[in-house]
Amino acid sequence: MDTPMYHAFAEVESRHWWFQGRRRIVAALLRDYLADLPGAATGRLNVLDVGSGTGEMTEMLGGFGNVTALDSSEHAIAYLRQRLPTGVLARRGNIPEDLPRDESFDLVTAFDVVEHLADDVTALRAFRQVLPTGGRMVLTVPAHQVLWSHHDVYAGHFRRYSRARLRDLVHRSGGFQVDRIAYFNSLLFLPALAARAAGRWRRRVAPPAAERIDPHLALPSPLVNRVLLGVFSSEARMLLRVDPPFGVSLIALCRAC
């Protein structure tokens, strides 16, 4: 994507129910999970946001402290510097080669990033190198291979994860204790499963060339968008108490040991 495309994508992110729901859920879980870290309550953590994209989640992380945003796209970094001119240090770099290993962070985040990497284990090992003992790593990833669809192909995903597969990834990377792995976007799981199945059927009867854009990025009508956002974001409070048995996404809360 070029810089104008990042502007367009950010405009969608700022209103789309899925992006805004994810932001609310992750923010609530982070406030709870990071509460025991010195500096968390006063917004003085050092945070590394890996694969920051247009900065929708980076902006939220600014409430926890100073944020370094790392992305491989020069256009993404150019856009971030326009959108978040203060409080965020935006760096261009590949993952994991260009992580700032000469620095130390209290928190490393990778929101829907590691599924784009051929070698996810090496990435997590690199994340560990910039964290002190007791530092935190928070990941979100797409869940359940049965939900694999054209969206995953379009987005450049290598895989989707089960809870067991994500836990195994963290263990194989070494140096992390898994505090929690939980599914989210659970209330809309069955509609998502039906929609993905319908999409696979449509592609069997229509030429793939007809799909020129990712339909998941289209904004629904304002009413539908508000309803879906309300349903999705309502999980923020629920996830503080229970672990759903399934969901469209997963979140991993881990600490360096």
Q: What is the mean pLDDT of each run of 10 residues along the chain (257 residues)?
A: 72 92 97 95 95 94 96 90 86 95 96 97 97 98 93 91 98 97 94 77 56 64 95 95 95 98
Report the relative pairing of strands 136-142 and 249-256 from DSSP bridges.
Answer: antiparallel
User: CA-to-CA distance for 226 and 38, rounded, in angstroms?
Assistant: 37
- Counting the structural domains of the chain, the total is 1
In angstroms, how far is CA 99 from the centroid of its own chain?
18
**Is the Cα dihedral 248, 255, 34, 137 positive or negative?**
negative
pTM: predicted TM-score of the whole model, two decimal places: 0.91
Residues 178, 207: Cα–Cα separation, whole Å: 43
Are the beta carbons of 190 and 175 closer than 8 angstroms? no
Q: Per DSSP, which regions of the chain are E strands? A: 45-50, 65-71, 88-92, 107-111, 136-142, 176-184, 249-256
Inter-residue contact 134 to 256 (CB < 8 Å): yes
> What residue has token string 């990834």?
169
Q: Say if residues 120 and 130 touch (Cβ distance below 8 Å).
A: no
| Sheet with 249-256: strands ordered across | 88-92, 65-71, 45-50, 107-111, 136-142, 249-256, 176-184
Exposure letters 73-85 (e unless 16+ CB within 10 A, then b): bebbbebbeebbe
SS3 256: strand
pLDDT at 213: 46
The tokens describing 136, both together, are 């935190």
Please report, for residues 79, 123, 163, 185, the alpha-carbon distance to residue 171 in angstroms, rounded to integers and kept in the order given: 35, 13, 12, 25
> In this predicted structure, what is the pLDDT of residue 195?
79
H/E run at residue 5: helix 3-13
**Structural domain of residue 121, as residue ranges?**
3-256
Residue 132, domain CATH: 3.40.50.150
Phi/psi of residue 42, nearest 5 degrees: -105, 10
